[in-house]
Structure 1
Amino acid sequence: MQCNRPTPTQQLFCPYIITNPIKLIQNSNPTFPGEKHSFQIQSLDLANFQPCLQEGEDAEEARNKTTVTALYKALTSNDVDVVHLLLAPYLEWWFHGPPTHQHLNRLLTGAPPYDPSFKFVPLSIVAFGSMVLVEGFDDCRSVSWVHAWTVTDGVITQVREYYNTSVTVTRLSSPEIRSQSSNCQSVWQSKLADNESVPGLILAL
């Protein structure tokens, strides 16, 4: 998908919607530059994992957070086997931000230009049902990022990726309540982006 020529106020932003989901490369064809293989898959038994619940969090949300946390650890250590265990073979990927910041896509597919210096270090992880929101910041590039992962039956099936974007998550109420008020309940907002100078988006649960 190509962007139209941006105006100065657009700050080179183009929302990307990938109609053909990411196909993860099998282990016989390396996914990560300089990848290393791991034989620790059997120790990652998320199906029988008993999570430690935080206040207001149910067992499913805690389990989904554990799945996503394990993914970031695997990405950091280039543990391809665990990445393949956690992600669906075809991962639906949505992107909003400068095209040069498609780091996650390149990391998962090995597509050039891959920048090994960009590390995804989560600063906060929170779950709302099947959605797990992760926020981080790259100090070297002054770039904030948000990942909204969808976890289905213990497998990650979708990710929405946002760079230098203020993301607000709202919970839609029943049609009867919505007819009485135009306001939706805001349950989460990104904190690392400069809300006054970046685009803002709303995700509905």
Structure 2
Amino acid sequence: MDISQNMDLSDLFQGFAMSAPPRSPCIPAWDLPLVFNSLTKAPYEPLRLASLQDVTLKVSFLLALASARRVSELHGLSAEVRHSRGRSSMTFSLAADFLAKTQVPGDDSQSEFSIRALAKSVGDSESDWLLCPVREYLRRTRDCRPRWSRLFVTVSEPQRVIQRAYQDVSEEDMRSVKINAHEIG
């Protein structure tokens, strides 16, 4: 008997497929270049004129994207940010009183990460350094937090970076974009 022709087995496997259908890869429905483009314009730029809320949104979005960290870990970031020599990267660490979801108490191996400076990839200039959203955010929030506390301070009336980027997109196109909680927002 040829097992590939057995109808009972065929029905069984069809039942398995219906009870647990294969999942398609989780690819965000939003357009990353469109969102990046919106971050280069008002209300986010020029950075020195942007509101604290807009600088906060820009920094949190870019950090989430560049680090692929959980929202809770971004919330747990320390305000002590270190720049490498030549400003080629920034090193972020978790606040001493924060324990990441996957971190074992006493294990500090996951407590810091570095992000390479974009200026090194697209051309290095002093103006790139001056426009660094993290540097501007730290400068603006310096008086809002005690020394050595968390990086992010509370900003009222939060909005979503991706949703704001799609403000000028037609209502029909917007309906096709489904943003969920696990996507960078």
Return the TM-score normalized by structure 2: 0.23
Return the TM-score normalized by structure 1: 0.22
Higher strand share: 1
Higher helix share: 2
Rg (Cα) greater in structure: 2
